[in-house]
Amino acid sequence: MAIAVVTGAARGLGLAIAERLHAVGYDVVRTDIADTDEQLDVTDAQACRDLARRVQPDIWINNAGVLGAGDAASQDDAVIDQVVSVNLLGVMRGTRAAVEVMRGRDRGRGRGHVVNVGSLASWVPVPGECVYAATKAGVLSFTLGLEGELRAQGVTGIKFTVVCPDGMLTPMITDIIDDPAIAMTFTGLRLVEPDAVAVAVVKVLKRPKRIVSVPKWRGAQVRAIGMVPDAALRAAPLFSRLGRAQQDRVRRGR
């Protein structure tokens, strides 16, 4: 039975992914700072390595994340540090830990699959969540770049995927549903259900792809917008107003 590690799996998207993987037969190791099978703080590089060495995962899913919405120019340094340490450095730590145990398989060609949870925010300016978006852009760049490095070394058997969801109604958002800084999360037609993203993760493990957007059409739209940053910045106030209206509707409907 294949072993899958999921970080940030106490609730929200991580829990949905873990449940879907378990349902299709994976031996799932749910991790978080509390309330899971294994306690794991992704800000601790050695803890990530120790877990990977002990459980020898076939799949490692870096899902743990925090939002840290607000005015990036004036936010506390501690908030910025936490968002970067969990969302970007945490992905790097987890990925490196997984690769360490996966790369020696199959006579050095490697075997395994690392799935990193990014965001559609990787491609566009997201006022109010720009530190979060910057970390997700970093996740995308790091994942693709690391795959390139490994391939140059002959390690071609480890698959890498970045899953990029649109805004989701997870506790990350519901815990601060009244915060105007998160308006850009609501600019899609509707928020994505975590289970839809979990289904996409299961599919990509069967048919590997490097980048998966959820929903697919929204990914194409956001990437197109990101190709013209001047226009994207000019349109940001409009998107923010549309997002606030949708945010109010969601808040009233809860």
Backbone angles phi, psi at 56, to 5 degrees: 50, 65
CA dist., res. 159 & res. 147, Å (int): 8
Rg of the chain over Cα atoms, rounded to whole angstroms, equals: 18
Q: Active-site residue among 132, 142, 160, 239?
A: 132
DSSP reduced 3-state for 81: helix
Structure-block tokens of residue 2:
């294949």
Q: How far apart are alpha carbons 15 and 7 in whole angstroms?
A: 9
- As separate numbers, helices (DSSP H) first and strands (DSSP E) second, the chain gives 9, 7
Whether 132 is a known active-site residue: answer yes
CB atoms within 10 A of CB 129: 24
- Determine the 3-state secondary structure of 39 from DSSP: strand
Active-site residue list: 132
